[in-house]
Amino acid sequence: MSTTNAATFTGRVVRIVDGDTLTVLNDEKREIRVRLAGIDAPEHSQAWGERSRQYLASLAFAKRVSVEWYKTSYNRVIGVVIADGVDISLAQVKVGLAWHYKRYEAEQAPKDRQAYAAAELEARKERRGLWQDPEPIPPWDFRRRRY
């Protein structure tokens, strides 16, 4: 996280919305929607969208997590979620089920930016997940065409 204004909370993941958004029930029993920082995953109706959501569920659903967040957007906090010691955004990129969201990479700490970029390059090279498709459509392009 590149900002010094980051805050942290903990809780249990109670819902997986899609491959880059989940809901955490915090320790004060308040549900908080969290958009995973640093990535953009395929949309529900897009190729690989359901697989991305399912993989995120395997990483985080019903688990206790720590969320380091730094801003809000569309009634969601944007942050890094750690489950079982794993940065789940980075895990999504490593298996080829999300893109490193370069539009917002300046908001990432340099080490995170480098790790996410390297993970995407490796996933592309190894043709993991969505990189098996000859020309995967980034979700930001899919949204622009569709909405």
- Write out the catalytic residue numbers: 35, 43, 76
DSSP 97: S
CA distances from 135 to 28, 74, 86, 141 (A): 44, 29, 29, 12
93: number of CA atoms within 13 Å, CB side? 24
Lookup: tokens for 8: 């942290």
